[in-house]
A = this chain, B = another copy of it.
Amino acid sequence: MESLTPPYYAVVFRSELRDSAEGYAEAAAQMEALAETQPGYLGIETLRSGNQGVSISYWQDTDAIRSWKAHSEHLMAQQSGRQRWYRWYRVEIAHVERSYDFGEF
């Protein structure tokens, strides 16, 4: 994704999947596609290694984050996540105040 110019918001989602997480990959792809259509969505970056993952989604403001969290299809996915897919997760909502980079993405 392109560089963003602060200020903006980041939702840092760290997680560990259970050993059996059937249906997770499809649901995650669907949720990512749906998130892209939401007002105030700026992008997402995901890294996975084994059962662990970090997804950082970027948003214009906290209203956009709240709306996405409360979206009906996303609510169902969150419930499946807790019941079937995740061993644990941790979500942090953060206001990005400054950024800098090096090299070519």
Report the interface size for chain A: residues with CB under 8 A from the other chain.
36
Interface of A is mostly: strand
Q: Which of A76-90 contact B (CB under 8 A)?
A: 81-82, 86-90
Can you list 10 A-B pairs, Cβ within 8 angstroms, ordered by A? A3-B90, A10-B12, A47-B53, A47-B54, A54-B54, A91-B100, A92-B99, A93-B97, A94-B96, A95-B97
Count the copies: 2
Residue of B nearest to A81 (CB): B102
| Cβ of A52 to closest chain B Cβ, rounded Å | 6
Q: Would you call A12 and B56 a contact (CB within 8 A)?
A: yes
CA distance A17 to B51 in the complex (A): 22
A71–chain B nearest beta-carbon distance, Å: 17
Give the top 6 A-B pairs by smallest Cβ distance, nearest first.
A88-B103, A94-B94, A90-B101, A93-B98, A94-B96, A92-B99
